[in-house]
Amino acid sequence: MSPHHVRRYTTGLLLLTASTGAFDAVSYLALDRVFTGNMTGNVLFLGFAAIGVEGIPFLNNLVALAGFIVGSMVSGRIIGHGEDDGTLPRSAAWVLGYGAAIAIMLAVVWLLIGELPEPALLAITFLLAAVMGGQVSAVKPIGNSEITTIVVTNTVANLARDSRLGGGRNQPWVQRLLAVVAMGLGAVVGAGVIGWLGGPAAMVASVAVYLAGAFTIVVTSRSARQRRGAAAA
């Protein structure tokens, strides 16, 4: 793969990472105190709630975890499990597109309903988590293990372990650092829009970042596929 395509893929993945931070800000701050992208947090919350810690919604966290799992499984079925060749299958592009459409629909429904009753809250949490689960499965064929788009715990660990202070050679530190920054900036955007315009608007802003990342990846994959075909001919 050419360095140009690698850079563009990286940009798209970083945008999707930022969108995860924004979506998690929406789900945690404006919905029901759960994460729809970061399942590590939800698993911990489920453990806390299981022993009776107050203020942690057990059912809501369970619904978010279930939604993420279902979204990832459905996405895996649609895309298949072929060898990761550095391009995005067309089926994966459709998964990303459907995910954006679902998130936009959820924002519109939320805006129309206003104050969400518990059943609607759980439904939105489930579907938004499913979008996040589908997204991470959709970009897996690109084969970039440094930017996972949904969690940065392992990224931070690798960044520290492979740094010069950790005895490593300090590579590939740029992508890892940018992934951490992107997640944080996404959270800033989500939280800021919630405080300024409310939850539905923050959902729309999150979708906009998500679409920018998905579009970048899809266009880059098409270009890489065309380049590969021309070289083979």
Q: Using CA atoms, how far apart are residues 33 and 56, in angstroms rounded to an integer?
A: 8
**Cβ neighbours of residue 100 closer than 8 Å, sequence gap 6 or more:** 207, 210, 211, 214
For residue 172, say if its preceding peptide bond is cis, omega within 30 degrees of 0.
yes
Query: Is 95 domain-assigned?
Result: no
Query: Is 120 domain-assigned?
Result: no
Q: Using CA atoms, how far apart are residues 37 and 65, in angstroms rounded to an integer?
A: 9
Query: Is 65 domain-assigned?
Result: yes
What integer best gives the mean pLDDT of the chain? 88
Percent of the chain with pLDDT over 70: 88
Query: Is 36 domain-assigned?
Result: yes
Query: Is 163 domain-assigned?
Result: yes
Place of tokens 């990472």: 17
pLDDT digits (tens, 9 = 90+) for 11-56: 999 999 999 999 999 999 999 899 999 999 999 999 999 998 988 8
Q: Using an 8 Å Cβ cutoff, are 34 and 57 in contact?
A: yes
Q: Give the dihedral of Cα atoms 98, 100, 101, 104; nearest 10 deg.
A: 160
Q: What is the domain extent for residue 179? A: 3-78+130-222
pLDDT digits (tens, 9 = 90+) for 68-94: 999 999 999 998 876 556 678 889 999
Q: Using CA atoms, how far apart are residues 130 and 10, in angstroms rounded to an integer?
A: 23
Count the domains in the chain. 1
For the full predicted model, state whether its pTM sits above 0.75.
yes
pLDDT digits (tens, 9 = 90+) for 126-148: 999 999 999 999 998 887 767 88
| Amino acid of residue 90 | R
Alpha-helix residue ranges (DSSP H) falling in 51-116: 58-79, 90-113
Query: Is 55 domain-assigned?
Result: yes
Q: Which two tokens stand for residue 50?
A: 């299981």
Query: Is 231 domain-assigned?
Result: no
Query: Is 173 domain-assigned?
Result: yes
